[in-house]
Amino acid sequence: MTEVSTLSAKAGPVTGSRRQVLYWCMYDWANSAYGAVVLSFVFAPYFLSRVADDPVHGQAKWGFAISISAICVAILSPMLGALADQSGRRRTWLAVCSLVAIVATGAMWWVRPEPSSLTLALVLLAVSNAGFELGYVFYNALLTDVAPDEKRGRVSGMGWAAGYFGGLASLALVYVLLVIPDPPLLGLDPAQAEPSRLSSPVSALWFLVFGAPLVLFGPKERPSPESAATIVRKGLADIWQTIRKLPKTPSIAWLLLAHMFFADGVNSIFIFGPLVAKGAFGFSDTQMLFFGVSIYVAAGTGAFVFGWIDDWIGAKPVVMVSIVALAAVSLSIAFLDTQRAFWIASCILGVFFGPVQASGRSLMSRLAPPDMVTKYFGLYALAGRATGPLGSALVGWVTLATQDQKAGIAVVAVSFVLGFLFMLPVHEPRKQKA
């Protein structure tokens, strides 16, 4: 029996509904405030310009903090995925990871515009990003509970689209209420950067409010009657057994290997792109707003449209085309000299951000056996972060070595090339008919 038919035969029932799809998409709407406001367009530029010594060293230290976070995610994600499968409590673990991210994000209010706050900023960044990324292990696994096989491409795309538009909405809210008003609203002190600092607690509140429905009312959990010690022991044993069985499912193994590199490329561009816009191209606060709006509109539209194309022609072709486009455009950034050229290149990147992530997720959900889906998404998260420490550190090192932020971000094209090569052997299973 072939790998495809074996996995298809294990397909289980889907317990979701339209309401569950809505809750699932709302979570991506919720947590994207962290990516948009903290990692990209408000707190990161504030850190670069008001907390760090200078943009070059600030970008390097930001990258090293993300690397530390990625190491934690790489270590914990497969373990937590296996434990969630054994205990049957995906939503519980999703809640724990989300709360870690929310609390650490809210605490960024205490990062003052002075060098003494540098360490606090980097620690909170590493902790919040670890919780944010680990939450995706359980969120991605819930896709199999809310969407049948033949609709996972479009539902996955809808989730990424909701995330990008949620990031856009939260970013617009923060800019309109906190960044743009002069004098600031609520009596905030601009000398102490209070408008920029308050953006993090606002993002944390956004995450909490819109993420709650999935955590509280999502797909029904299947708690295990076994003791916690037994669950932990079985979960740890399952990790090793799952890794040993990867040669029997070569498509999953190749997808995990490819995901190591193309996910690292996407994450690096998202993290460092706004820093390049601010430090290398001198974008003003107002320009950063419209820059972020244009990228999120492009990304949300791309994720939604390509989600339907995924269900039409398959996930693998969507991933491959997206990787090629991302590699070519990211490499070109090193040669751009004007704000307009960088802006256009970034919007083109945005169009393919969503499809490569959404279709990679839907492909894994189709390849993984239903009773092991969280475990495999734990490995998927591990793969997505396995090269994260190296990728973020590499951007930091290249930036320091060349004293050029553009060169630092252009190096991520190598990740996309490797991701493309490792995707070639992946064999996508035939979709089940409705």
Q: First vs last Cα of the chain: how many Å apart?
A: 23
Residues 267 and 156: their CA atoms lie apart, in Å, by 18
Q: Which is higher by pLDDT, 177 or 354? A: 177
**Is there a domain that residue 10 lies in?**
no
**pLDDT on residue 76:** 83
**pLDDT on residue 60:** 82
**Is there a domain that residue 323 lies in?**
yes
**Is there a domain that residue 102 lies in?**
yes
**Is there a domain that residue 268 lies in?**
yes
- 304 pLDDT higher than 50: yes
Half-sphere CA count of 94, side-chain side, radius 13 A: 30
**pLDDT on residue 324:** 95
**Is there a domain that residue 8 lies in?**
no
- 343 pLDDT higher than 50: yes
Q: What average pLDDT score do residues 104-111 get?
A: 98
**Is there a domain that residue 395 lies in?**
yes
**pLDDT on residue 322:** 95
How many domains, the chain? 1
- 147 pLDDT higher than 70: yes
Residues 368 and 12: their CA atoms lie apart, in Å, by 11
User: What CATH number is associated with residue 267?
Assistant: 1.20.1250.20
Q: Which is higher by pLDDT, 305 or 270? A: 305
**Is there a domain that residue 48 lies in?**
yes
**Is there a domain that residue 20 lies in?**
yes
Confidence tier at 109 by pLDDT (50, 70, 90): very high
Confidence tier at 226 by pLDDT (50, 70, 90): low
DSSP tag of 70: H
- 259 pLDDT higher than 70: yes
**pLDDT on residue 85:** 66
Domain boundaries, position 54:
15-423
Residues 236 and 85: their CA atoms lie apart, in Å, by 11
Cα distances (Å, whole numbers) of residue 220 to 146, 147, 296? 11, 14, 32
Instruction: State which of 99-113, 179-193, 365-379, 391-405 shows the largest mean pLDDT.
Output: 99-113
Stated pTM of the model: 0.74
